[in-house]
Structure 1
């Protein structure tokens, strides 16, 4: 048994060395901690999935319970953003690389990540319809509102006025990037898809202890 765990330890160290080069915001020790955490999370899944990685349900639980994300549509998009090979599982490599941007990304990386999350159909634009769907999901409706959809439509128009520089009723990546650079608060304009500072700190304190 001890030989087995020593081998596993060595494997974790080798993997961490490789991954911390790709996920540049973590050092080797932090990458090792994230690999261990990943392995712990996998143990909660049924055996047949273990070789593949974290499934959607497990990953969404982490997004919700650990990082405070609440919107189903956004959580699904975050899952897809992490799942870079589109096999419906988060591998250990995708886990460490995804968290590198999710927790410690530069503004550039976060702009790219948020745009990817918000571009629901992956066509390179955030359309008026996509904005409407995301805002409708993420805004808390007041029971007294007779036409809540009208308020959301108005909000979409306000956002387009501010961010849609070429007036084609959709946001390209360069428009999104330009808007966020001018006003950082617009980074998560269409719904929360990054953890706040408190949640990030709590996760890192727990993971890297």
Structure 2
């Protein structure tokens, strides 16, 4: 009993600290429930490893692309220690689920950019774009050389987004392209949840007191999410 009270107090204190960050777009109840979910998924470890994080992406957000799941893990892992902390989990989920277009543009760029210019700057190279598009496009049975089609698509994307024509995309180029045409946000592969999955997940962490109409609100929640539904702290 005493341990349970202490755990609730710790969660509340961590939530209060996180809510001081303006990038966290959750209510206190939502942050507390995210922290409880973190403990459940990490099996009460202080940090979550890559495989458990991938399980969340697969079971909760229906992601199946191994390469993109690994890249999303890297985008959450801000300190590059190959683990997700509670802070990284909540702040990452805030951008992932509730971020502004500009915040999500930065998130998607971090997922897509595999080529480092230096210790602090990355770009999306022609090779990165080719690899991601080739990986996510489905080969048609009639295609003898699908690689040619991918190359044409890469050229088209660079023509549209590569303003300085240097054969790669900087963050500024990617950001400006997305702000001008939001459909380019996930141009190189799906790395954000679709609207239905997003809303379903948000229902699992929301404050029931703030739900105006709870009748039927959980009808479409899949079994994988029902297993992690949380009571308010």
Normalised TM-score (structure 1): 0.92
The aligned counterpart of 1:180 is: 178
Alpha-carbon deviation of 1:140? 1.1
The aligned length equals 202
Alpha-carbon deviation of 1:59? 0.6
The aligned counterpart of 2:28 is: 28
Matching residue within 59, 76, 82 for 1:82: 76
Structure 2: stretches of 5+ with no match in the other structure = 209-233
Contact 1:59 1:79 in 2 (8 A): yes
CA distance in structure 2 between the aligned counterparts of 1:134 and 1:100, rounded to whole angstroms: 25
Contact 2:102 2:179 in 1 (8 A): no
Contact 2:41 2:56 in 1 (8 A): no
Alpha-carbon deviation of 1:188? 0.5
CA distance in structure 1 between the aligned counterparts of 2:203 and 2:107, rounded to whole angstroms: 24
Q: Which moved more, 1:199-208 or 1:182-191?
A: 199-208
- Secondary structure of the residue aligned to 1:199 is helix
Deviation readout 1:64-103 (Å, 9 max, x if unpaired): 2211222211111110111111111111111101001000
Matching residue within 60, 63, 68 for 2:54: 60
The aligned counterpart of 1:17 is: 16
Contact 2:72 2:111 in 1 (8 A): yes
Contact 2:105 2:185 in 1 (8 A): yes
Deviation readout 1:168-207 (Å, 9 max, x if unpaired): 1111111111111111000100011110111111111122
- Secondary structure of the residue aligned to 2:124 is strand
Structure 1: stretches of 5+ with no match in the other structure = none
Alpha-carbon deviation of 1:121? 2.6
The aligned counterpart of 1:91 is: 85
Classify 1:92/1:122 alpha carbon distance in 2 versus 1 (closer, same or farther; 3 Å). same
CA distance in structure 1 between the aligned counterparts of 2:138 and 2:185, rounded to whole angstroms: 19
CA distance in structure 2 between the aligned counterparts of 1:125 and 1:88, rounded to whole angstroms: 21
Contact 2:161 2:169 in 1 (8 A): yes
CA distance in structure 1 between the aligned counterparts of 2:41 and 2:82, rounded to whole angstroms: 16
Contact 1:116 1:122 in 2 (8 A): no
Q: Which moved more, 1:117-126 or 1:148-157?
A: 117-126
Map 1:1-209 → 2, pairs under 5 A: 2-22=1-21, 23-43=23-43, 50-51=45-46, 53-123=47-117, 124-208=122-206
Alpha-carbon deviation of 1:122? 3.4
Cα RMSD for the two superposed structures: 1.3
Normalised TM-score (structure 2): 0.83
Alpha-carbon deviation of 1:41? 1.1
CA distance in structure 1 between the aligned counterparts of 2:152 and 2:6, rounded to whole angstroms: 59
